[in-house]
Amino acid sequence: MPLRLRLLVCLLWCSVWLSADPMHAVGNMFRPLGTPAELVSELSILTLIICAAVFLIVAALIAYAVIRFGYREGDSRSEPPQVYGSNQVEIAWTVVPILIVFVLSMSTARITSAIQDQKMPKDAVTITVVGHQWWWEFRYTDLKITTANEIHVPLSTDAQRKLTFLTLKSADVAHGFWVPQLAGKTDVIPNRTNTMWIDPKETGVYLGNCSEYCGTQHAKMELRVVVDTPEDFNKWVAAQQQPAGTPASPENQQAFLRSACIGCHTIRGTPAMGPLGPDLSHLMSRQTIAATEVPLTAASLRDWIKDPQRLKPGNKMPTIPLSDAQLDAMVAYLTTLH
C-alpha cells in the first residue's frame, strides 16, 4: 500500500476511535462496554475465526487445484480419469463440519445461559421500557420516575457492581431495544414481557436504536443511555423525583395548560396528566427531542411544536394551530422544566 494511502487509512481509523468517545456510537460492536455485549462479542470473534479458517483452507485448496491441475499447452483435451468414492475423504468432510457445528452451538448455549441466568441483585435499578410508535417510554417504577427516550443508569465497576434490569413491553407494534455496546438486541413485543440487563463499564452517552421495523419512522426511533457515576445518578434521581417547578410566569404556564397538549402529556404537579405522549415534567433535563432526532433547544422545541409532522411525518403528535404569541409563551414555560 502506498504511504499516502496508508496514512489516510490510519487517519480514518483514528477518527473513528476518537469520535467514539465519550459518545459511544451505535455500531461500534468491536468495543463492548458491558458484560452481555462482551460475551456476545467473544462468541462473534470465535465464530469469525472458525469461519475465516474454513474460508482460507477452502480458498487455498481451490487455488492449488486451479494452478496445479489447470490446462497447459500440449495437454490432451480428453476428460481426465474420474475417481468415485473415498472413505477417508467422505469421513473427513462429514466429521469436521459436525465438530464445528458442535463447538459453535455449545459456545452459543453457554453464552446465552450465562446472560439469561444472571440473578437480579437487591440493589439493581429496574426500568420498564415501553416501545411506542415512535418513541421510548421509560418508567422507573420503584423510584417513581417517568421519562422518555433517554435513560440514566449507574456505572458498574469491578469494585461496585451496579446492574440495571429492563422489562420490555410494547404499546402498539413490535419494536426492538438495542444498545450495541451494552447488550444484544431484545425484541419488544405486544402482549409479551421480555427482560434484559446491562452493566455499563464506562460513563458517557451510549446510542441505541429500535432494531425491528415498526412503521414509517422506525429509523427515527432512537434512544440514549446516559451512564453516570453512582453519585451523579443519585443526584439525577433526586431531581427527577421532584414535581415540576413553580413557573416564573403563570401566564406562560396557562398557555400550555389551556392547550390540547395536556390531553397527551403529563407535567407532574399540574393539571396536565395526559398518558399518551412523553412525560414532560423534567423535559429540559433531556439532551434531545423527537426520540433523539434533534438536540433540545428553545428553537428546536418551537419548531417541533409548530409542526411535528414536518420533522417526523406520520407521528402521533398532531399539529395544533397556535398563534406565534401562544407558541412563544408555551416554549418559554416548557424551557423552565429542568
Return contacts of 301-309, CB within 8 angstroms, 24+ apart. 301/331, 301/334, 301/335, 302/327, 302/328, 302/331, 305/330, 305/331
Instruction: Draw the binding track, 99-118, toward ligand CUA (x: CB under 6 A; -: no contact).
Output: --------------------
Residue 125 or 221 with smaller CB distance to ligand CUA: 221
Residues, the chain = 338
Nearest to 337 by CA among 133, 148, 141, 207: 148
Residue 143 or 173 with smaller CB distance to ligand CUA: 173
Nearest to 240 by CA among 138, 136, 120: 138
Q: DSSP of 320-333, one letter per residue?
A: PP--HHHHHHHHHH
Residue 139 or 175 with smaller CB distance to ligand CUA: 175
128: amino acid identity, one letter = T
- Nearest-approach distance from CB 159 to ligand CUA, in angstroms: 37
What percent helix, strand, coil does the chain show, rounded to 5? 40, 20, 40
The three cell numbers of residue 65 are 487445484
Instruction: Draw the binding track, 4-43, toward ligand CUA (x: CB under 6 A; -: no contact).
Output: ----------------------------------------
Q: Which of residues 209-228 bind ligand CUA (CB under 6 A)?
A: 210, 212-214, 218, 221
Q: Name, in order, each residue with C-beta under 8 angstroms of 170's C-beta and a sequence gap of 6 or more.
A: 130, 131, 132, 188, 189, 190
- Nearest-approach distance from CB 24 to ligand CUA, in angstroms: 20
Residue 20 or 189 with smaller CB distance to ligand CUA: 189
Residue 134 or 304 with smaller CB distance to ligand CUA: 134
- Nearest-approach distance from CB 186 to ligand CUA, in angstroms: 13
Q: DSSP of 182-232, one letter per residue?
A: T---EEE-TT--EEEEE---S-EEEEEEE-S--STTGGG-EEEEEEE-HHH
Residue among 32, 36, 131, 308 that touches ligand CUA (CB under 6 A): 131
Pick the stretch among 9-17, 93-101, 208-216, 292-300 that binds ligand CUA (CB under 6 A).
208-216
Residue 124 or 210 with smaller CB distance to ligand CUA: 210
Nearest to 261 by CA among 203, 204, 217, 327: 327
- Nearest-approach distance from CB 221 to ligand CUA, in angstroms: 4
Residue among 175, 220, 268, 312 that touches ligand CUA (CB under 6 A): 175
- Nearest-approach distance from CB 292 to ligand CUA, in angstroms: 13
- Nearest-approach distance from CB 289 to ligand CUA, in angstroms: 17
Residues forming contacts to ligand CUA in the complex (CB under 6 A) are 131, 134, 175, 210, 212-214, 218, 221
